[in-house]
Structure 1
Amino acid sequence: MATVLVLGGTRFFGQKLVERLLAEGYQVTIATRGKSGNPFGGKVEHVVIDRTNASDLQSLMENRTFDIVYDNICYSPNEAKVFCDVFNGKIGKLVFTSTLSTYEIDGAVKVEEDFDPHNYAIRMGDTADFTYGEGKRQAEAVFFKYAEFPVVAVRFPIVMGTDDYTERLHFHVKRVVQEEPIGFVNMEAEMSFIHADEAARFLLWAGETEVEGPFNATATGAITLRTLMELVEKATGKRAKIALLGDDEIRSPYAIPASWYMKNDKATAAGFQFSQLDSWLENLVQDIAKQYT
């Protein structure tokens, strides 16, 4: 039986990944801070650690190995370097959850070559030393330089789902229902998204196959923020109050100045079949709207 370690894994798409791993018959260990509990009970081994503490990781890996490790909670180059120091020689493969935020918001559709972690100047530091996107860029660069095991960096856009604890899509639905304004910068900007179920399915695929390197993982297609808000209006039966700019209280989590989305051609060519964004987004908006109407 293959052994898998998931750093994170008790919430949202991380939880869905563990559910898929268990269904496939893997022996799963999850390592978390313990704040979200263990929704899997005795089906998994649950180790409570601080992901940022090197001695915790060393204790976790004492006299053991894993075939696959999923790291959903690495946000800095320091964390990535410690991971490599501890896990080199002890695992078969790493699947690292990265992000669309490794790419600049410049209106151009993004492909993997737009950020090359193999030739990126490394600047060590902790999470607080970087923006979210730069921390992930640095982490990718460190993994690809220092890891002695295969690495897949999965670049997700914003992940959506009814159980999204960040409630970014919920924010829009709730404010429309309550007839409160939402601040945007550019309503014609396009974005790409992925459903949490598909994100989990992709992570499983990335671990099981021979692929290595950076991979964009997004539902096929993009949507303008104007069209997205029209879906919210349709689901709620109310008109959205749109404000350009606005303060932090009303500003949309999607308030981007230009289009920011990516293509999934590389992963598609490698054999993964993505959903079409328009095949599920409207239904998801309607499901979230039911929570507030």
Structure 2
Amino acid sequence: MGTVLVLGGTRFFGRKLVELLLGEGHQVTIATRGQSGNPFGDKVEHVVIDRTNASDLQALMANRTFDIVYDNICYSPNEAKAFCDVFNGKIGKLVFTSTLSTYEIDGAVKVEEDFDPYNYEIRMGDTADFTYGEGKRQAEAVFFKYAKFPVVAVRFPIVMGVDDYTERLHFHVKRVAQGEPIGFVNMDAEMSFIQAEEAARFLLWAGQTSVEGPFNATATGAITLQALMNLVEKATGKRAKIALLGDDKIRSPYAIPASWYMKNDKATMAGFEFSQLDSWLENLVQHIAQQYA
């Protein structure tokens, strides 16, 4: 049994990670803004903090240490640097939730070497100073430069699940079911995805093994947006109304101009076994479609 801190952890794959940790008997502390409540009750210690406030982090870590910290809510280099300043010497390992967005959308399948955080020029700033992808790139670079503890940067693609609060996949199913148009840019573009349960299992694995550095974590395989919409049509029994481009109201959250997906070979070789994308995606689409039948 170990001591584990999860920054975030009350929603979606963060919540599933905490459930896995509790199932293994770990002593878990979750630190959140308190806006989503505490679904675990007295099974965890719940600390309400502002992740962007260094003083809150200092108060959290006063006279305590953790074996593993999972940071699901760091989005900028300033936040990463404050984390290092406070947590250096007090934790055994950090697992940082990063993203496919660290890679350019250029049609090429992505491997970890396509973004090198160890030699990336650091520009300090807050979340508002960067795009989402650049903020994560900068955060990775800061962690790998200033952390005095092992760091794993887990690069997830879009995470899918019935309980996805962003409802990105739901958006497509709902609009097709209701006969509303969806805007795309390139229907032949391929994407990769991961299920929330698998994302949680990967985070657990990354914390408990000796791996360090950046790791792509995605279900094996990719799917074109056309093929994805075919699954939605099959599940809803309706024909999708596809508009090229379109305004913000109808534009798909997956409206990318070129293929944007990654390989998981590095993590596979390190010992993690991923699912096949086509083994669960159709079932997930059908499950969501039942909500709009």
TM-score (norm 1): 1.00
Distance 2:225 2:136 in 1: 25
Superposition pairs for residues 115-130 of structure 1, below 5 Å? Answer: 115-130=115-130
Structure 2 residue identity aligned to 1:236: T
Structure 2 unaligned regions, length at least 5: none
Shift of 1:122: 0.1
Superposition pairs for residues 18-97 of structure 1, below 5 Å? Answer: 18-97=18-97
Is structure 2 residue 202 aligned with structure 1 residue 205? no
Is structure 2 residue 219 aligned with structure 1 residue 219? yes
TM-score (norm 2): 1.00
Superposition pairs for residues 140-159 of structure 1, below 5 Å? Answer: 140-159=140-159
Shift of 1:168: 0.2
- Residues 89-145 of structure 1 show CA distances to partners (whole Å, capped at 9, x for unaligned) of 000000000000000000000000000000000000000000000000000000000
- Residues 49-82 of structure 1 show CA distances to partners (whole Å, capped at 9, x for unaligned) of 0000000000000000000000000000000000
Structure 2 residue identity aligned to 1:87: F
Q: Which residue does 1:250 correspond to in 2?
A: 250
- Residues 178-231 of structure 1 show CA distances to partners (whole Å, capped at 9, x for unaligned) of 100000000000000000000000000000000000000000000000000000
Superposed structure 1 runs of 4+ greater than 6 Å apart? none
The RMSD of aligned alpha carbons is 0.3
Q: Which residue does 1:195 correspond to in 2?
A: 195
Structure 1 residue identity aligned to 2:28: V
Distance 2:77 2:56 in 1: 18
Number of corresponding residues? 293
Q: Report sequence identity in percent.
A: 90
Shift of 1:152: 0.1
Structure 1 unaligned regions, length at least 5: none
SS at match of 2:267: helix
Distance 1:2 1:98 in 2: 24
Shift of 1:166: 0.2
SS at match of 2:232: helix
Distance 1:139 1:211 in 2: 19
Distance 1:145 1:21 in 2: 28
Distance 1:137 1:103 in 2: 9
Structure 2 residue identity aligned to 1:35: Q
Distance 1:278 1:3 in 2: 36
Shift of 1:10: 0.0
Shift of 1:22: 0.3
Structure 1 residue identity aligned to 2:248: D
Structure 2 residue identity aligned to 1:14: G
Distance 1:177 1:285 in 2: 12
Is structure 2 residue 274 aligned with structure 1 residue 274? yes
Structure 2 residue identity aligned to 1:104: E
Q: Which residue does 2:12 correspond to in 1?
A: 12
SS at match of 2:292: coil
- Residues 157-179 of structure 1 show CA distances to partners (whole Å, capped at 9, x for unaligned) of 00000000000000000000110
Distance 2:24 2:191 in 1: 33
Structure 1 residue identity aligned to 2:155: R
